[in-house]
Structure 1
Amino acid sequence: MDVEPNPVRATALTRRGDVVSSRPRAVRWRAGLFVALAALAAPFVMATPVAASAAPSAGPPWTGAWATSPQREVGPAFSNQTLRMLVHPTIGGSSLRIRLSNGFGDRDVTFSAVSVARAVASGAPDLVSGSSRRVTFHGRNTVTVRTGTAVFSDPVQLSFDYGQDLAVDLYVTAGGDASAITGHDAAQGTQFVAAGNHAGDTGLPFTGTVNSWFWLDGVDVRPSHSVRGSIVALGDSITDGAYTTWNGNDRWTDILAARLHALPSHRQFGVLNQGIGGNQVLTDRTDCCGAGTSVSGLKRERQDVRLQTGVRYLILADGINDIGYNADADALIAGMRTIAERARRAGIRVVGATITPYGCDAGCFGVEQEATRQKVNSWIRTSRVFDGVADFDAAIRDPQNPSQVRPDYQADHLHPNILGQRAMADSIDLNLFR
């Protein structure tokens, strides 16, 4: 594959739905202990939103089909290698565009070949024969994404149905070996690496594996039938999919997407998972969950919610980590109110999700933290701030001990297992989404 000598650079854009940027990651607990791994010394800076290379074109409006929240990663390094990343879009379509983010990179990053194809299966590098398509940026094969920015590709003609995984290949030729790069370290599935340029090739050269998505943070589609838009889930590691099946795509957001897909086409939505392990509503964190960092929900909601493509609804499922760090109930309520009001001013309806239990015999929420959870949940259920409520607390709490998750639904007292994730998804009233 030829390399373009003059790479396209991301340019500023102001239209809603065509903007992206940056933010970090944080806090996850296991068995009652706060995990504080690979603390980051360097402070992060929220980048000015910029970038999208895809010019407007005729056809149905773009709808967000898949997304993840970028973070700062301090490894691994990539140089003259091809990354093959698998994603699970929540709606199908007749064409697509991808979004590449360099929100946290220390240097500009250049991709000298990019392709997309239908994947044979989750967890495998093989492509459906004849489905590979070259991805261009302003008509060029090569794109350089400046640090602190993101860029959309040109539209790509590739049809795929709901449930069809896609493989996105990035041939990285510069900036992939920076001291910090952009990724999302909880892909909950295997991604693949090959030496040299193998964008669009068979799976044979992809002998290396990683556990994160790098640079790729969004896939938009032109739906093959009428859909209503997209739903964003803003949350923490419970939303991000901790303890879900590896390569299984069975987060509660995936299960919600399946339920929506079973509805008539005019009631279907894309579902965008913007969960980050350890995320808090109020506080930025840099001390948890591997190399990533976590910008607070208050700071990242603009990029992760309001600027997502075709967003119609927000499910706000954050706050348990704030309580774990002893946030005041009134302060947490004020932060959640602010996020909801910002979204509603942008024309986005907001569903408030109650905070799930974190009780156990020792090492989990104490009496004061449980009181905070109950106060916040009472406000979520009764305030008029939200357009609806997803009562995740009621869905998975133990009826015999409401401060704890049901034994058959919990993985580590904090995170639900697969049954718990399904119970959360099944508890959501689909009539909230019109």
Structure 2
Amino acid sequence: MSDRPAPLADPHLLFDPAAGRRDIVILGSTGSIGTQAIDLALRNPDRFRVTALSAAGGRVGLLAEQARRLRVNTVAVAREDAVPALKEALNVQYGASEPLPEILAGPDAATELAASECHTVLNGITGSIGLAPTLAALRAGRTLALANKESLIVGGPLVKALAKPGQIIPVDSEHAALFQALAAGTRADVRKLVVTASGGPFRGRTRAELAEVTVADALAHPTWAMGPVITINSATLVNKGLEVIEAHLLYDIPFDRIEVVVHPQSYVHSMVEFSDGSTLAQATPPDMRGPIAIGLGWPERIPDAAPAFDWTKASTWEFFPLDTEAFPSVGLARHVGALGSTAPAVFNAANEECVEAFLAGRLPFTAIMDTVSAVVDEHGTPDAGTSLTVADVLEAETWARARAQEMAARAAVEARA
């Protein structure tokens, strides 16, 4: 492994271990990651100062409240039509004599914030729209606390071309776990990465038993409270497939040395197996504030960032092999990850469209992966001899979304027949 390039995320290679209080920009502040990051910042004002916030624009009241509590310089919304409501909400939150924060609006607003003056950018945006802000933060030389896995999935070569060693700190619970476990050894010592999966709400069911599950069934995750798209991705295990690709890109470990194991309790967030046969596991009760604290504070640990285990109480931790027949998403993700180029972008975009169709009641649950697989097959093997560009990614995503919509509509008709 010593002749391999440096990984994007490496606990031994710190991009900027600056001491003192860090200025933070939070992208996706009204979402699950963003709200928990704000909670962490408010509890640690001596360590973090949030200077700017961005959100899609659907929850301007919450965004205005966050801006006032944090006294940020700038707020941004992706939806320009949300600006009047945001201004009104800010006027409600701020006193008559208090200066209001600057407002940025439009599809490029988060990208502009990502390049603004700060120490760390937390990218908590959901979906591949997070790619441009990720690239902007890296290009500007910011430390990137990355919760937006899609930007790495769809733009892996672009991200790798820009990121300096140690510049990215992963925030996904699985990759934050691997990041911490990897600190215990050298790259040459690593034999395998083991990514844990809760198994979602349908663990143990066969493919036939999944045919009639409802949206409500799929949204009932047993251990994590997440947004609807991520929750459905957990039910199909697409989320785990994306994490396998992400682990490959972050740590530069071949796909055949990245394993997925089902762990229903979600206590062990991932493991690293070393060459001497030992395995190091990172474990905490399910709570995203721990991984967020790693992303914002590393190499320092933030005291009481998240709850710890109560070792006076008995508990059982279980591990099961992945059922690849009922949940083919991980294998398909390995396939597109190995293909590289635009294949992961096609996989991700097709899945987003199919998840939307399922949530709207237009597509059966098992047809999500059937449709994604069909779109990936039709896309074929991308030309590996050309350099990937942002335009290539956008073009591939546009095609994949259109084909997924067409195929999903046909599958819905066939399901009703």
Scaled by the length of structure 1, the TM-score of the pair is 0.32
Which structure features the higher share of strand residues? Answer: 1
Name the structure, 1 or 2, with higher relative contact order (CA <8 Å, separation 6+): 1
TM-score, with structure 2 as normaliser: 0.33
Q: Which protein has the bigger helix share?
A: 2
